[in-house]
Amino acid sequence: MSQTLQSVRGMNDILPDEAEFWELFEDTIRSWLKAYGYRPIRMPIVEPTPLFKRAIGEVTDIVEKEMYSFEDSLNGEQLTLRPEGTAGCVRAVIQHGLANQAPRRLYYIGQMFRHERPQKGRYRQFHQVGVESIGFAGPDIDAEMILMGARLWADLGLDGIELQINSLGQPEERAQHRAALIAYFEENAEILDEDAKRRLYTNPLRILDTKNPALQDMCAAAPKLIDYLGEASLAHFEGVQRVLRDAGVPFVVNPRLVRGLDYYNLTVFEWVTDKLGAQGTVCAGGRYDGLVEQLGGKPTPACGFAMGVERLIALIKESGGEPTNPAPDVYLVHQGVDASRLAFRVAEGLRDQGINVLLHCGGGSFKSQMKKADGSGATFAVVIGDDEAVSGEAQLKSLREDGVAQRKLKVDDLAEAIIGQLIDSDEEE
Ligand code: HAM
């Protein structure tokens, strides 16, 4: 026997029980996004590699070590499986002239790929719900995006997700801070680890993001960006905080929140839970006013965030959320050639009336089909044998304990009877 093939490490199948849960989650997500005026956009999963290098930054973990990049063997193009959605979304906005019709509120849901070490909550293929607003300059949209998060957690019945915010200021403010930071790290050169030394002159800000406990105290005392922010940046940050306070959304200002992608300026934020172990950030984002221009568009302010779907689903389950398995209304049992022909007609007719039907396929005795009907969770079995086929009738049998007794009906009367009983049982519940 040949060896069975497995999925790629860190890339998971989502089986029907789980996938149904995902669909329910996505339904909630879509209506939540609609309530805030967001419209869908779908970008390719593969983009030219230079897009990510330019957008995310050459000296970032994602670009340095996590991208699935390859050469198209047919034309030599350098391509990458998208590690995130913002770069592709902004590329699409520029390419199709959407920025000219800004402001725009856009969202996408889909796979992202990062070659990280897989662990709970961290996968090589994962899914994001990404939300981007293009063309808004003020702190109001940053704040609204954060309020959106708060509302979603409430809609999903999640609590205890902490909001951390920070301001990264503007590039020139960051440049001053960067110079001060390099000087400070140089003074503390003997404490730096290899990673920090490597980043000292390329991306010193990222040193603050280190997980190395030996660097924590030194990083805590490092020059803080907030002390280098000018009046306008501080006012923007204050503007965001004011809306959050007015809305009663608690937050923590975390001066060490720097994010792992280089395109951000001003507001950045993360929603973090302690219920998922090490991978506790369920949603993260911020403002990226320079990115549209950097990717070849006209200067256009923008802001966005993305949520990790796997992490949120894990959190919903952890918080006791139960997936509800949508059972069919009717399981259609049939035996005999004429009965099968009628069964197809009946099934389609019932579906025309909005009734969900699982039509038995694969033959078998009435008994074994009835077992499957019971196991399906359907509310009713509709049973058609050749006798019924001749008279154009079917047996309607309730599969619920408290349901009405089995009866024979003309097939044309089935839909009305089923709908009537479905409504009655809904009212009783
Ligand atoms: P990010 O922080 O890299 O931001 O990712 C956003 C979220 O995706 C994370 O908070 C996490 O929930 C989830 N995530 C990231 N990597 C993994 C992984 N390996 N496995 C499972 N979940 C993961 C961005 O991607 C930005 N594009 C967000 C953004 C949109 N900023 C502005 N607009």
DSSP notation for 225-252:
GGGG--HHHHHHHHHHHHHHHHHT---E
Where are the domains positioned within the chain?
A: 16-169+229-318, 330-419
Can you name the residues that pair with 308 across neighbouring β-strands? 128
Q: What is the mean pLDDT of residues 128-143?
A: 96
Answer yes or no: are the C-beta atoms of 383 and 397 closer than 8 Å.
yes
CATH fold of the domain at 16-169+229-318? BirA Bifunctional Protein; domain 2 (3.30.930)
| CATH no. for 330-419 | 3.40.50.800
Percent of the chain surpassing pLDDT 90: 84
Ligand 1 pocket, mutate which of 265, 275, 281 (most atoms under 8 A from CB):
281
Question: Is the pLDDT score of 329 beyond 90?
Answer: yes
Question: Is the pLDDT score of 209 beyond 80?
Answer: no
The secondary structure of the chain in percent helix, strand, coil, rounded to multiples of 5, reads: 45, 20, 35
Distance of CA 310 to the CA centre of its chain: 8
Closest-CA residue, ligand 1 atom 25, reads 84
3 state DSSP class of 200: coil
Q: How far, in Å, is the centroid of ligand 1 from the Cα of 141?
A: 20
Of 323 and 156, more confident = 156
Q: What is the mean pLDDT of residues 361-384?
A: 94
**Each residue's pLDDT tens digit, 185-197:** 999 999 999 989 9
Taking the complete model, does pTM exceed 0.85, yes or no? yes
- Supply 414's token pair: 């089935």
Q: How far apart are CA 246 and CA 234, in angstroms?
A: 18
Q: Strand order in 357-359's β-sheet? A: 357-359, 330-334, 380-384, 393-398, 407-410
Q: How far, in Å, is the centroid of ligand 1 from the Cα of 93?
A: 20
Closest-CA residue, ligand 1 atom 12, reads 308
63 Cβ contact partners less than 8 Å away, ≥ 6 residues apart: 52, 53, 56, 57
Q: In 191-336, which residue ranges form alpha helices assigned H by DSSP? A: 194-199, 204-207, 216-220, 231-247, 291-294, 309-318
Q: How far, in Å, is the centroid of ligand 1 from the Cα of 195?
A: 22
Closest-CA residue, ligand 1 atom 20, reads 122
Q: How far apart are CA 47 and CA 79, in angstroms?
A: 6
Nearest to 338 by CA among 380, 407, 391: 391
Nearest atom in ligand 1 to 128's CA:
8
Q: What is the mean pLDDT of residues 83-91?
A: 98
- Supply 401's token pair: 């304990």
**Each residue's pLDDT tens digit, 28-40:** 999 999 999 999 9
Residues with CB under 6 A from ligand 1: 84-86, 114, 116, 121-123, 126, 128, 130, 132, 260-261, 281-286, 288, 304-308, 310-311
Q: What is the mean pLDDT of residues 252-271?
A: 93
